[in-house]
Amino acid sequence: MDAEAVTRLRRVIGRLARLFNASSSSEGLTPTQASVLGLVAHRGPIGLAELTDLEGLNPTLLSRVVSKLDGDGLVRRQPDPADQRAVQLEATDAGHRTHARILAARTQTVAKILEDLSPDVSDTLAEALPALEALAEGLRTNTR
């Protein structure tokens, strides 16, 4: 891929990220808080070390995010059965509902955009999904 195409792809990814981030702010969460909540809701109970690794956040920032989510009643801390000195996080019922609303808003945003695209463009996007998934995985592993 040439430099111009890479730049265009980066810009598109940035615009998409901003669209998705808007759905988390409607729930009163920052994009980072929404991402952490999503991981806890999806993978929980989950330890802080694993969460730090998956999110690529420094422990201090993660601690602040978790404190906010805990204070809002979206996650709860519980003792790690394998290590009583550590804690695990799990989403509360309110956390699961908030996460579901964020996902629904994001899905609705994409569905609305896809409705306005030609079938050829929609088909091309569907065919590009494996490549986009590989790109996302590459970005995740290369930013650690």
pLDDT at 143 over 70: no
pLDDT class of 115 with cuts at 50, 70, 90: very high
Domain ranges, residue 107 = 3-142
Number of domains the chain contains: 1
pLDDT digits (tens, 9 = 90+) for 37-77: 999 999 989 999 899 988 888 999 999 999 999 999 999 99
> What DSSP letter does each residue of the chain carry, written as one string?
--HHHHHHHHHHHHHHHHHHHHHHHTTT--HHHHHHHHHHHHH-SEEHHHHHHHHT--HHHHHHHHHHHHHTTSEEEEEETTEEEEEEEEE-HHHHHHHHHHHHHHHHHHHHHHHTS-HHHHHHHHHHHHHHHHHHHHHHHHT-
Residue of 17 and 23 predicted with greater confidence: 17
Q: Which of 25-29, 56-60, 88-92, 131-135 has the lowest mean pLDDT?
A: 25-29
Position 144 scores a pLDDT of 54
What pTM, to 2 d.p., does this model score?
Answer: 0.80
CATH value at residue 77: 1.10.10.10
